[in-house]
Amino acid sequence: MPELPEIETIKVQLAEVLPGRIINKVEILKAKSFIGDKKQIEGKKVVGVERKAKLLLIELDRGVDLAIHFKMTGQLIYVNKDKRIAGGHPTLDFVGELPSKHTRVIFHLDQGTLFFNDQRIFGWIKVVESGELKVESFWEKLGPEPFDLDEEQFIKIFIKLKQPIKLALMDQAKISGVGNIYANDACWEAKVNPRRLANSLTRKQYTDLYFGVIKVLNEGIKFGGATAADAKYIDLHGLGGHYQDHFRVYDREGEMCLRNDDGIIHKLSLGGRGTYFCPACQR
């Protein structure tokens, strides 16, 4: 499901609700979804919530954190009947019964309940010692987010890569946070054909791509992420985002290009991922 804007949306919502909460009990319904010993986190208090790219970090007191990756279909949903907590309103009208058949882990808090749902079971929640992530594989291997780069640094990354630009944008080791939706839309913003090799863009295309990536990510954040028709992405309160109403090319095969009356959005496969572009204006 989620790329940087979706995780950022959930991170902001978690930060309103979780700090100060105590994890009384952890219920693991699918062993594969939870890595580590739940006893290490039971009884501990949430002190903060952080995000790097698509990875979420829930910081607990006494030296332990929870790292969460949503992969394609992960969801975090917070339910609390006690409305004294900000944002803690129940949202069962939107998400249906909880736990659902896709609920993999349940965090019983001192106030409210946090559900981790994940249809495809690719996602994971991992107990880590504080600071461990930063020297450990996944976090360490993440490249900088687009927001952390200036234009020159951005160009320097791509000008030496020989793979299609869209795949390079999605390589988390090179640059982190961009997934399939925003990579497609960023290429459209820059009028770049997603198949063009990353080292072959014009100076102007690199510049346009840099600003295009930042533009679509910021718009994704502004609209609370993208919830396509299958509604796999929902926020902490079970609500969908609205970036899908602003898709440039993603999921728009056969539709008219937004800036070119002669352009029809085409779809092809790149690296096994659905790739959308306007042949008329993306060169």
Q: Which two tokens stand for residue 18?
A: 């979780």
- Applying CB under 7 A, the span of 2-10, 56-64, 144-152, 254-262 interacting with DNA comes to 2-10
End-to-end CA gap in the chain: 28
Instruction: Based on the residue annotation, tell me whether 54 is a catalytic residue of this protein.
Output: yes
| Residue 141 in contact with DNA, rule: CB under 7 A | yes
Q: For residue 22, what is the DSSP state?
A: B
Residue closer to DNA, measured from CB, 92 or 231: 231
| Residue 232 in contact with DNA, rule: CB under 7 A | yes
Q: Measured from the CB of residue 111, what is the shortest distance to DNA in angstroms?
A: 30
Q: Which helix (H) or strand (E) holds 8?
A: helix 4-17
Q: Which of 145, 184, 142 is nearest to 166 (CA)?
A: 184
Dist. CA 259–CA 263, nearest whole Å: 8
In total, the chain counts a number of residues equal to 283
Dist. CA 201–CA 199, nearest whole Å: 6
* Strand bridging mode 34-35 / 124-129: parallel
Q: Which of residues 42-101 bind DNA (CB under 7 A)?
A: 53-54, 69, 71-73, 101
Contact pattern for DNA over residues 109 through 138, marking x by CB under 7 A: ----------xxxx--------------xx
**51, 54, 174, 248: which one is catalytic?**
54
Count of residues binding DNA (CB under 7 A)? 48
| Residue 162 in contact with DNA, rule: CB under 7 A | yes
| Residue 32 in contact with DNA, rule: CB under 7 A | yes
| Residue 8 in contact with DNA, rule: CB under 7 A | no
Residue closer to DNA, measured from CB, 9 or 80: 9
Dist. CA 134–CA 96, nearest whole Å: 37
Instruction: Based on the residue annotation, tell me whether 255 is a catalytic residue of this protein.
Output: no
Instruction: Based on the residue annotation, tell me whether 2 is a catalytic residue of this protein.
Output: yes
β-pair partners for 164: 197
| Residue 238 identity | G
Helix 203-222 with 151-158: angle, nearest 10 deg: 110
| Residue 161 in contact with DNA, rule: CB under 7 A | yes
The backbone torsions φ and ψ at residue 107, rounded to the nearest 5 degrees and listed phi first, read -105, 115
| Residue 208 in contact with DNA, rule: CB under 7 A | no
**71, 99, 273, 279: which one is catalytic?**
273
Dist. CA 51–CA 265, nearest whole Å: 33
Q: Measured from the CB of residue 258, what is the shortest distance to DNA in angstroms?
A: 19
Active site residues: 2-3, 54, 273
Applying CB under 7 A, the residues found at the interface with DNA are 1-3, 6, 32, 53-54, 69, 71-73, 101-102, 119-122, 137-138, 141, 161-164, 167-168, 170, 172, 179-181, 198, 225-233, 241, 244, 269, 271-274
